[in-house]
Amino acid sequence: MNAFKFSRIGYVNGSSKLGKGKKFNVNTFGVYLAPSNLSGRNVCSMATSECIKGCLNTSGRVKMDVKGMIVNARIERTKAFYEQREAFMAELINEIRLAAAKSKRAKTKFAVRINCTSDLSLEIFKDTNGKNLLELFPNVLFYDYTKVPNRVRLTQKYSNYDLTFSYTGYNWSDCETMLANNVRVAVIFDTVKGQPLPKTFNGYKVIDGDLSDYRPADKKNVIVGLRWKEIANRANNAEIKNSPFVVKANGQKAVTITDNVQPLTIAA
């Protein structure tokens, strides 16, 4: 037991989407924090209004959590990260070590996704000696989605970090830069479950991202197609589905296209 108001920080295959990694013989340790500023701390600096309203924080089994226990636990985890950082990190590091060891004994691959419902740099997740998670676990593969363009530089700095950039409905110029630099881009379509996604989007190949959450298994310069998942707030569902955040599968084009694509470099 720990001293927090929640039982654990992360879980291995703790959601159906993380569990799909089993098809690649991968166990994924995932952490769910409270998205945007739900906890009073903003963990999604580049979130748009549509992203906030349509966040998957209230999709899936959370829709059936009438007492709000799951969301409350995510809020408490986020508060603990900011208010009890040293204790939080000690617990998180221990949980990752135990999970990695268990996967090794089971002869399965192991991966970590810290930002299941957040968008924080892994460089701020440090131990008391100032080492971040990517440095503490050089043989563990970490992966994330992000809307922060500069975050992709971490993939050049750390060989054990895999990143997928996210299309917001308004940042296609950034997406083009990512694709030109061999970074995959996630796009949400209005395609319903069980129906095929578009084969291409804006000239780029679309792969089915719902088959697994384990993005490191995908090619880099492709569109990761994701189907819109309904959230608990029905009013928001209709609003978000009709916004640029969710692409119409009948050929809708992205906005703010630019030909001014520059190579990514690591700032000094």
**Predicted local confidence at residue 67, as pLDDT:** 53
* Both structure tokens of 80: 């603990």
**Predicted local confidence at residue 26, as pLDDT:** 97
Q: In the chain, what is the straight-line distance between the N-terminal and C-terminal CA atoms, in Å?
A: 43
**Predicted local confidence at residue 233, as pLDDT:** 75
pLDDT exceeds 50 at position 257: no
pLDDT exceeds 80 at position 59: no
Q: How far apart are CA 133 and CA 182, in angstroms?
A: 24
Q: How far apart are CA 35 and CA 157, in angstroms?
A: 26
Confidence at 63, pLDDT banded by 50, 70, 90: very low
Rg (CA), the chain: 18
pLDDT exceeds 70 at position 15: yes
Residue pair 155/123 in contact (Cβ under 8 Å)? The answer is no
- pLDDT over 70 percentage in the chain: 87
Confidence at 51, pLDDT banded by 50, 70, 90: confident
**Predicted local confidence at residue 127, as pLDDT:** 98
- pLDDT tens sequence across 64-87: 453 578 889 999 999 999 999 999
- pLDDT tens sequence across 93-145: 999 999 999 999 999 999 999 999 999 999 999 999 999 999 999 999 999 99
> Ramachandran region of residue 115, left (φ > 0), alpha (ψ -120 to 50) or beta?
beta
pLDDT exceeds 60 at position 183: yes
Residue of 56, 54, 127 whose CA lies nearest to 91: 127
Place of tokens 């159906």: 16
3 state DSSP class of 111: strand
Confidence at 255, pLDDT banded by 50, 70, 90: very low
What average pLDDT does this structure show over 30-52? 91
**Cβ of 101: how many Cβ atoms within 10 Å?**
11
DSSP of 126-192? B-TTS-BHHHH-TTSEEEEEES-GGGGHHHHH-TTEEEEEE--SS-HHHHHHHHHTT--EEEEE-PP
* Residue 253 phi, psi dihedral angles, 5° rounding: -95, 150
DSSP of 178-215? HHHTT--EEEEE-PPTTSPPPSEETTEEEEEGGG-S-G
**Cβ of 147: how many Cβ atoms within 10 Å?**
19
